[in-house]
């Protein structure tokens, strides 16, 4: 014990000196680019972080008109860009800052982000897309909300029809979107149980844990939650009781390292991770690195827009075309950082003013 | 043997050399970290590592441990699971054999057995329970599978000596047998085609074998695609269809599946009335396994990777499983297996001990099985038809060890564990070193359970 405190005394002056000295890795500028897809109107935010040495990192998060950019800038300008672990959950643009700092760290280390994070743990990233897109082989079925109570067998048959329309050889995700009552959710799950969906996403609201207990207790259909969850403690509560089979941290909320912590939380429960992602291609790039750094990753949602104009925008603002489907998988990038180039002039064109 | 002794000496030499070099640089270096709580009366009543037998000077049986040998026995030069056999010698010529085989970690167990040398040499081998506690408690960090296997090998050897000294088979010392005809067992039918299964059904009937165990095909992610899930269910259905309704079928998931995936399969095979599903998910998280069990009527078995009764307590007390498959070569030997069975019995949990290593552990398990009120069936990794291993074991021990007669492993009347084994017979299979167990990777290169 004495020895340890002696060591602390010996190293303290060095640590203080390191803090005071300006470093090439210090953040000198943070800029925000709010974007909107022209047809879908879907909005997301990009962040560009620059260091004294001239390294540039990009990140993405959900669009929030109330996010306090000035607070972010004053808190992080002058801070070391490698200190991504020091980002607090309350930091504005938290997810984008996290991705941008990892992008910079990778570039500084001349390595892809997944390598900085101890990967790759896999050589390709399984992916699926939104209901409207047929590009990826996993079908997404939106469960129709029951219009009347007591729809009984007719309602169940309606669900079965949708499920039976999916070829028996391909997989499907059932999406409840949190719209069903606990009883309806349990009954829908029981109806499709032997059809083996990959999972039932948001069968009911996760906020009433008793409702989730009911759905989980009555069927063995895997259940996924993540929508609107920003507190990892919510995942922990669901994991502790075995009420969740797919944890879905939203990368636009948690960033890469926040999602990695949620994945670490799920791992000792043998629970798989399928990060949520409803933003743009920078987010997809970050998701690829996240997936390639996790042991318990299962699948990544890629929000491919329905309109060609919106898809063109994604290809325009980010290169290379990382969202390309390769037999149901995304390829890993090999260049340093997130492995993408952001076309700043195109960002102006899609500015969400 | 010679090589091992040489290696042990060699490493000791290196350690001494290292200490000698460092000593002048750190003259005041104290081995104690300062976190050690001293017992009243100061450090080491009898000294740290000092003889523990003094307190029993007037209670000695007269037997004293004089030698400890540990053998790595590789049946093939590249074997990933060399048998680790422990031989304990005494001042009166009685010797005991035990097994601490730990697949993929043979070298570590051999080293760990040797680490216990100071606990054993000079001790009274009759004090099995006392020595067990000494090894376990005084190892401070408690036991994982490496130390559990080392203790298991030593413990079995001590019981063997005990039985021989008292002139009784070990199962009698434990209060058995419940059934003088022997203990029920099962063989493996993994990987058999439907046609082969039909044939096995016939052979099993002729041999009086009432139970078999099979596996499920492939490897699984924690969420799985439906073709994989449906293939697994189909494979289990084929076992029942081909083997018929009269034979008990156990299906080993081998912890390849997550609780989420296992829950689906385990529920869907309910109508097949399986004897049990084994290790439906990995062993670290008891609650996770409970999630599978609470949603199906199919009995669940697990436990081969759990060490000591302490390591098994939670799963017993939560009522998660129907059957425990404690492994006598890892749990802490005869002492460890007996205690787990006792704890399980209180919770109405049955025992189907795992023993898929060498013949010594298998034979030792039979003794404990014979004295368990809650015994259901004993595993051995043999086939319905004897194979090369069975021939080898017979060559070593002089009788067909771990072959059933009329569906049961017969009990021996000989004292101790009931066999003789010569070091010479093992010489033909020298230790080929430690080799890793299978390392399996998925289509995307990621690590998967097998």
Region A181-207: mean pLDDT is 94
Q: Is the pLDDT of residue A17 over 90?
A: no
**How many CB atoms neighbour CB A65 within 10 A?**
8
3-state secondary structure of B330: coil
Q: What's the confidence (pLDDT) of residue B286?
A: 94
Segment (H or E) for B90? strand B83-90
| A242–B259 CB contact, under 8 Å | yes
Q: How far is A243 from chain B, CA to nearest CA, in Å?
A: 9
Taking CB atoms and an 8 Å limit, are A121 and B447 in contact across chains?
yes
Q: Which residue has the tokens 């009759």?
A: B126
Evaluated on CA atoms B320, B326, B330, B331, the torsion sign reads positive
% of chain A with per-residue pLDDT over 90: 82
pLDDT in tens, A19-65: 567 899 999 999 999 999 999 999 999 999 999 999 999 999 999 99
Cβ distance A208 to A183 under 8 Å?
no
B50/chain A closest Cα distance in angstroms: 27
Residue B8 confidence (pLDDT) above 80: no
> What pLDDT does residue B54 have?
79
- Pick the closest to residue B300 from B334, B257, B333, B336 (CA basis): B257
Please say whether the beta carbons of A208 and A173 come within 8 A: no
- pLDDT of A145 reads 79
Q: Is the dihedral of CA B89, B90, B92, B95 positive or negative?
A: negative
Q: Are B182 and B149 in contact (CB under 8 A)?
A: no
Question: Catalytic amino acids of B?
Answer: 254, 354
Question: How far apart (Å, rounded) are the C-alpha atoms in residues A169 and B227?
Answer: 7
For B174-192, the pLDDT digits (tens) are 999 999 999 999 999 988 8
10 Å Cβ neighbour count for B150?
31
Lowest mean pLDDT among A136-140, A151-155, A305-309, B416-420: A151-155
- A270 vs B282: CB contact, 8 Å cut-off? yes
> To the nearest whole angstrom, how far is the Cα of A132 from the nearest Cα of chain B?
21
**Largest CA-CA distance found in chain B, in angstroms, rounded:** 76
What is the predicted pLDDT for the residue at B46? 44
Q: Report whether pLDDT(B314) > 90.
A: yes
> Is the model's pLDDT at B276 over the cut of 80?
yes
What separation in angstroms does the CA of B146 have from each of B102, B255, B431? 7, 20, 18
How far is residue B327's CA from residue B358's CA, in Å, rounded to a whole number? Answer: 12
B225 contacts in A (CB within 8 Å)? 171, 198
Which residues of chain B neighbour A293 with C-beta distances below 8 Å? none
Q: Could you say which DSSP state residue B271 is in?
A: G
The values of phi and psi at residue B48, to 5°, are -65, 125
Angstroms from A308 CA to nearest CA on chain B: 30
What are residue A200's phi and psi, to 5 degrees?
A: -105, 110
Instruction: Kindly tell me if the per-residue pLDDT of B4 is higher than 70.
Output: no
> Whose CA is closest to A216, among A242, A180, A188, A248?
A242
Burial, A330: exposed, middle or buried (Cβ in 10 Å; 0-12, 13-18, 19+)? buried
The token pair at B63 is 């037997």
Per DSSP, A151 falls in state -
- Which chain A positions have a beta carbon within 8 Å of B223's beta carbon? 198-199, 222, 245-246, 272, 274, 298-299
**Residue in A with minimal Cα distance to B261:** A222
Residue B172: the pLDDT is 97
Report the pLDDT averaged over residues B375-397. 94
Q: What is the pLDDT of residues B339-385, one digit of tens each?
A: 999 999 999 999 999 999 999 999 999 999 999 999 999 999 889 99
Burial B133-144 (b: 16+ CB within 10 A, else e): ebbbeebeeebe
Peptide bond into A231 cis (omega under 30): no
**Cβ within 8 Å of residue B224, ≥6 positions away:** B257, B261
How far is it, in rounded angstroms, from Cα B255 to Cα A165?
33
pLDDT of residue A218: 93
Q: Return d(Cα B399, Cα A333) in angstroms, integer.
A: 61
Interchain CB distance below 8 Å, B229 and A196: yes
Q: Is the pLDDT of residue A1 over 60?
A: no
Q: Which residues of chain A are within 8 Å of residue B256 when distances are taken between CB atoms?
A: none
- Measured between CA atoms, the residue of chain B closest to residue A4 is B33
DSSP A38: T
Is the pLDDT at B36 greater than 70, yes or no?
no
Cα atoms in the Cβ-side hemisphere of radius 13 Å centred on B122: 12
Element (H, E) at B351: strand B350-351
Contact yes or no for A80/A132 (Cβ under 8 A): no
Interface confidence: ipTM more than 0.90: no
Residue A18 has pLDDT above 60, yes or no: no
Omega before A120 cis (within 30°)? yes
Angle between helices B259-268 and B226-243 (to 10 degrees): 40
Cα–Cα distance, A323 to A314 (Å, whole number): 9
Q: Is B153 helix (H, G, I), strand (E, B) or coil?
A: helix
User: Cβ B268–A2 below 8 Å, yes or no?
Assistant: no
DSSP B75: S
Cβ contact, residue pair A295, B447, below 8 Å: yes
Positive/negative CA dihedral, B379, B381, B385, B388: negative
Instruction: Check CB contact under 8 Å for A122 and B442.
Output: yes
Backbone dihedral angles phi then psi of residue A238, each to the nearest 5 degrees: -70, -40
Query: What tens digit of pLDDT does each residue of A209-262 get?
Result: 999 999 999 999 999 999 999 999 999 999 999 999 999 999 999 999 999 999
Taking CA atoms, what residue in B is nearest to A195? Answer: B226
B131 within 8 A of B150, measured Cβ to Cβ: no
Q: Which residues of chain A are within 8 Å of residue B227 when distances are taken between CB atoms?
A: 169
Task: State the pLDDT at residue B26.
Answer: 54
Mean pLDDT estimate for chain B? 90
User: Which pair of structure tokens corresponds to residue A279?
Assistant: 């933003």
Q: Full-prediction pTM beyond 0.80?
A: yes
- Using 50, 70 and 90 to split pLDDT, how confident is the model at B134? very high
Element counts in chain B: helices (H) and strands (E): 15, 12
What's the confidence (pLDDT) of residue B319? 86
Q: For the ranges A167-171, A337-341, B361-365, which has the lowest average pLDDT?
A: A167-171
| Percent of chain B with pLDDT strictly greater than 70 | 88
Structure tokens at B352: 């189907």
């Amino acid at each position: 014990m004495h020895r340890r405190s002696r060591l602390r005394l010996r190293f303290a002056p060095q640590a203080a000196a390191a803090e005071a000295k300006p470093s090439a890795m210090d953040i000198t500028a943070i800029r925000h680019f709010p974007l909107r897809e022209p047809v879908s109107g879907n909005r997301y935010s990009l962040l560009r972080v620059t260091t004294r040495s001239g390294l540039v990192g990009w990140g993405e998060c959900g669009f929030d008109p109330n996010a306090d950019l000035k607070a972010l800038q004053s808190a992080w300008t002058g801070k070391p860009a490698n200190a991504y672990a020091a980002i607090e959950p309350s930091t504005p643009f938290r997810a984008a800052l996290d991705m941008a700092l990892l992008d910079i760290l990778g570039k500084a280390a001349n390595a892809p982000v997944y390598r900085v994070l101890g990967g790759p743990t896999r050589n390709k990233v399984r992916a699926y897309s939104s209901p409207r897109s047929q590009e990826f082989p996993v079908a997404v079925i939106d469960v129709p909300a029951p219009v009347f109570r007591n729809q009984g067998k007719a309602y169940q048959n309606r669900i079965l029809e949708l499920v039976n329309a999916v070829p028996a050889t391909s997989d499907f995700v059932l999406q409840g979107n949190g719209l069903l009552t606990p009883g309806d959710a349990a009954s829908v799950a029981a109806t499709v149980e032997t059809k083996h969906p990959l999972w039932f996403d948001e069968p009911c609201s996760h906020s009433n844990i008793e409702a989730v207990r009911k759905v989980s207790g009555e069927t063995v259909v895997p259940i996924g939650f993540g929508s609107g969850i920003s507190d990892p403690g919510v995942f922990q509560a669901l994991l502790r009781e075995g009420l969740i089979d797919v944890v879905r941290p939203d990368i636009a909320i948690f960033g890469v390292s926040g999602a990695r912590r949620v994945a670490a939380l799920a791992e000792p429960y043998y629970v798989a991770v399928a990060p949520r992602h409803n933003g743009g291609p920078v987010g997809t790039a970050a998701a690829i690195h996240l997936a390639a750094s996790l042991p318990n990753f299962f699948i990544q949602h890629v929000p491919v827009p329905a309109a060609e104009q919106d898809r063109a925008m994604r290809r325009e603002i980010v290169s290379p075309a990382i969202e390309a489907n390769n037999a149901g998988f995304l390829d890993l990038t090999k260049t340093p950082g997130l492995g993408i180039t952001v076309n700043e002039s195109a960002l102006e064109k899609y500015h969400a003013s | 043997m010679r090589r091992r002794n040489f290696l042990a000496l060699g490493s000791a030499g290196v350690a001494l050399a290292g200490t000698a070099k460092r000593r002048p640089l750190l003259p005041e270096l104290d081995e104690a970290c300062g976190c050690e709580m001293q017992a009243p009366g100061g450090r080491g009543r009898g000294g740290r590592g000092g003889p523990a037998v003094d307190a029993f000077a007037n209670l000695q049986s007269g037997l004293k441990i004089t030698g400890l040998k540990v053998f790595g026995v590789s049946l093939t030069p590249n074997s990933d699971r060399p048998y680790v056999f422990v031989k304990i010698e005494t001042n009166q010529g009685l010797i005991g054999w035990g097994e601490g085989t730990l697949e993929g970690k043979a070298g570590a167990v051999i080293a760990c057995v040797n680490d216990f040398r100071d606990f054993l040499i000079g001790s009274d081998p009759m004090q099995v329970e006392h020595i067990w506690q000494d090894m376990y408690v005084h190892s401070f960090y408690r036991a994982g599978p490496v130390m559990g296997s080392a203790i298991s090998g030593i413990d079995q050897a001590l019981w063997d000596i005990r039985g021989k000294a008292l002139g009784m088979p070990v199962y009698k010392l434990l209060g058995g047998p419940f059934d003088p005809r022997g203990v029920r067992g099962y063989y493996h039918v993994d990987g058999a085609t439907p046609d082969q299964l039909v044939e096995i059904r016939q052979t099993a009937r002729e041999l009086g074998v009432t139970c078999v165990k099979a596996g499920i095909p492939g490897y699984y992610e924690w969420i799985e695609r439906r073709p994989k899930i449906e293939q697994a269910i189909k494979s289990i259905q084929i076992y029942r269809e081909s083997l018929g309704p009269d034979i008990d079928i156990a299906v080993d998931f081998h912890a390849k599946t997550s609780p989420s995936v296992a829950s689906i399969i385990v529920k869907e095979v309910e109508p097949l009335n399986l004897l049990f599903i084994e290790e439906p998910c990995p062993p670290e998280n008891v609650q996770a396994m409970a999630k599978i069990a609470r949603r199906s009527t199919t009995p669940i078995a697990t436990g081969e990777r759990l060490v000591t009764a302490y390591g098994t307590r939670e799963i017993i007390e939560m009522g998660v499983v129907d059957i425990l498959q404690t492994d006598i070569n890892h749990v802490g030997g005869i002492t460890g297996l007996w205690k787990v069975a006792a704890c399980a019995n209180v919770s109405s949990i049955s025992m189907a001990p795992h023993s898929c290593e060498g013949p010594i552990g298998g034979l030792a398990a039979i003794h404990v099985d014979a004295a368990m009120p809650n015994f259901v069936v004993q595993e051995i990794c043999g086939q319905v038809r004897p194979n090369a291993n069975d021939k080898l074991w017979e060559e070593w021990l002089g009788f067909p060890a771990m072959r059933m007669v009329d569906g049961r492993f017969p009990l021996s009347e000989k004292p101790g564990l009931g066999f003789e084994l010569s070091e010479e017979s093992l010489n033909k299979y020298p230790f080929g070193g430690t080799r890793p167990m299978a390392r399996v990777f998925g289509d995307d290169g990621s690590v998967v359970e097998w």
